[in-house]
A = this chain, B = another copy of it.
Amino acid sequence: MIRNINTERMEPIEMDGCEGASMAVMVGRRDGAPHFAVRSIEVQPGGHTPRHRHDYEHEVFVVSGSGMVLLGDRVEPIKAGDVIYVEANLEHQFRSTDESLRFLCMVPVEQNCGGGTPGS
């Protein structure tokens, strides 16, 4: 199975606190992936993902653009080629700057306390 992030249909992320972000699940439960999912996310200039926390981790790869990531009480710049580990239960948010920020966000398909991970 091969899919390309540049041609996969992106859907707006409809969550409170999210602005100008869209997502496509590139590999996930629909493919029978047993452990983790790869999602492609784009944040329009000036947009951001929700500021939140949850009981499962993110492993993120920045494909293009630049932005900022909130990790607990720190805000760090991010750029293409960065790999970011967001441990479970850490508050986090991804923000673009004046250009679109594109990244992959990998999640386990099951939450640590049970049940499918949203968007996996």
**Complex Cα gap A57–B112 (Å):** 20
A34–B61 CB distance below 8 A: no
A33 to B83, CA, bound (A): 13
Give the chain B neighbours of A119 by CB distance below 8 A: none
Asked if A78 is at the interface (CB within 8 A of a chain B CB), the reply is: yes
Chain B residues with Cβ under 8 A from A26's Cβ? 83
Inter-chain CA distance A72–B67, complex, in Å, is 39
Given contacts A35-B35, A36-B106, A38-B106, contact A3 B82 (CB under 8 A): yes
A47 within 8 A of B: no
* A-to-B contact residues, CB < 8 Å: 1-6, 26-27, 31-36, 38, 40, 56-57, 59, 61, 63, 69, 76, 78-79, 81-85, 87-88, 104, 106, 108, 112
Between-chain CB contacts (< 8 Å), 13 pairs: A2-B69, A2-B84, A3-B83, A5-B82, A33-B85, A36-B36, A36-B59, A38-B59, A38-B61, A38-B83, A40-B83, A63-B81, A106-B106
